[in-house]
Amino acid sequence: MNVKHFLKIFAISVACLAMAAEAQDEVDSEDPITVLDQTVPVADYPVDQGPPEAAAADPDTDARQQLTDAFARFSELQDAGILDEAENVAKQVIELSIRLNGPNSIDTAKALNNLAVVQHLSGNYEAAALNFESAIDVIREVEDQLSELLVNPLRGLGAAQIASGRPDLAHSTYQQAMHISHVNDGPHNLGQVDILEALAETNLRLGDVEEARELQDMIYGLHLRYYEDNAIEMVAPLMRLARWQHRTGYLLDERATYRRVIRIIEYIHDGNDLSLIEPLTLLGRSYFYADQSQSNISTTTSASGELYFKRAVRISEENPDSNWELVVATKLALADYYTFRSDLGRARSTYREVWELLSADDDRLDVRRDELESVKLLIQDPLPRYIGGATANDTEIGDGLREGRIIVAYDVSARGRVSGLRIVEATPAEFEEIQRLVSREVRARIFRPRFEDAAPVDTPNQSFTHSYFYRQAALDEVRAQADDG
């Protein structure tokens, strides 16, 4: 590694903090921190554990204690979400590590990684990427190109690249991490699952849904390989797979996955186990949507979802370990389903049961207020975030990128449907197509209506704001066309 380049990166940020490092003396426990749902452990800095006499004779004792204290302070601030101060202390840790261990040390690489994580959490993705890269360079210099210590900063770098609108770079970064994982732990190691999930997400950003699907199948195969004799361990990865299938529109696959979860739980436990409630409810909710992954639409009707909601309600009512919260949750899910199906008689009857349950005790009134005394959105479709030449790779306002917004007002009827929709604001007004899209989507939304005295009522004057990004050149073109017309 080019040490001069390394020192140049940190000289300005570290120098102003040298004196402040002397004052950090609070200690706390070590915990993991996350970047885009990927766990990135906080580094563990070794401290001289020799007897007091030996430590007293060590000229570096003060610096090591400062390092210990600064790292503890960093952990405390990060856990508390005080990211600006955590970033400053992370820079102190780097300075102290360089002083004690030199710029080319694993401890310094870990310190760089921690600084990058905090910068990522703060939204400073470019700085985070630079520091992840510096950590990678140090590890490659100290160890080698295939060191397993590279996996963590590579994952962090990939996350920063995605957040910066460069999934193409992230794809290559995650592939490097996966290759290193294979070299060190074999091609079938379970530790690569987080990398594969991140790579699948990256492929989605790149528009390669089939490749993302293949990676998800690979993840499932890895879990199956390790847990084929312990089926209950398959439940958590299968639930993650089903949620991913829902996001990507593979709803027929999603339903099959939830059914597999249900069969496992039934086999290991019984048909009345409380752990069945979540997959049954989510399986029922999948019938709110149409499968978008195949040209041949499934002939299964959405009425099939009722069976799963009803079974979840029955389990919540009959299982001796259940409680009123579970009964309320399952009945609300069933009532929402009836609202979706426009089966208003059954919906109102089931909502009334929930109202009575939540009115039986003063301790439940807060739940009643949250769940039934205001409208709740049940169904919505995605709206475009980028129009007029802007893309998901555009991340910062400026250089021709602009932000627009549309505000609509509407009423929600006692049936849970939208009426009286009107556009309150459209900025800029020239993009009429996005206005039509927003209006059409909001009109199609389905709500759990608001209730008064156990009865659904109309709720006027609701509002929704949709923000989007566009290119100034596209707006100029639309205006020029209007002038020509």
Q: Rounded to whole angstroms, how far apart are CA atoms 119 and 139?
A: 20
Q: Rounded to whole angstroms, how far apart are CA atoms 373 and 312?
A: 24
In a domain, 329, yes or no: yes
340 and 382 share a domain?
no
Residue 414's domain comprises: 378-484
CATH number at residue 369: 1.25.40.10
Final residue in a domain of this structure, among 103, 121, 142: 142
In a domain, 177, yes or no: no
Under a CB-based contact definition with an 8 Å cutoff, are residues 110 and 45 in contact? yes
288 and 402 share a domain?
no
- DSSP class per residue in 58-99: -TTHHHHHHHHHHHHHHHHHHHHT-HHHHHHHHHHHHHHHHH
Structure confidence at residue 398 (pLDDT): 67
In a domain, 171, yes or no: no
Angle formed at CA 332 by CA 328 and CA 338, multiple of 5 degrees? 150
In a domain, 23, yes or no: yes
14 and 137 share a domain?
yes
Write down the H helix ranges in 269-384. Answer: 277-285, 305-318, 324-340, 344-358, 365-372
451 and 368 share a domain?
no
In a domain, 148, yes or no: no
pLDDT by residue, tens only, the chain of 485 residues:
444 444 444 443 333 333 333 333 333 333 333 333 333 333 333 322 333 333 344 556 788 888 889 999 998 998 899 999 999 999 999 999 998 889 999 999 999 999 999 999 999 999 999 999 999 999 999 999 999 999 999 999 999 999 888 899 999 999 999 999 999 999 999 999 999 999 999 998 888 999 999 999 999 999 999 998 889 999 999 999 999 999 888 999 999 999 999 999 999 999 999 999 999 999 999 998 876 555 444 444 445 799 999 999 999 999 999 999 999 999 999 999 999 999 999 999 999 999 999 999 999 999 999 999 999 999 999 999 999 888 876 666 667 889 999 999 999 999 999 999 999 999 999 999 999 999 999 999 999 999 999 999 999 999 999 999 999 999 999 999 888 76
Q: What's the alpha-carbon Rg for the chain, to the nearest Å? A: 27
Under a CB-based contact definition with an 8 Å cutoff, are residues 217 and 185 in contact? no
241 and 348 share a domain?
yes
3 and 130 share a domain?
yes
In a domain, 460, yes or no: yes
124 and 78 share a domain?
yes
In a domain, 369, yes or no: yes
442 and 351 share a domain?
no
Task: Give how many domains the chain has, as a whole number.
Answer: 3
Final residue in a domain of this structure, among 342, 373, 404: 373
CATH number at residue 479: 3.30.1150
Final residue in a domain of this structure, among 82, 108, 142: 142
Q: Rounded to whole angstroms, how far apart are CA atoms 384 and 474?
A: 16
303 and 433 share a domain?
no
For the chain, the straight-line distance linking the first and the last C-alpha, in angstroms and rounded, comes to: 61
In a domain, 458, yes or no: yes
119 and 6 share a domain?
yes
432 and 399 share a domain?
yes
2 and 122 share a domain?
yes
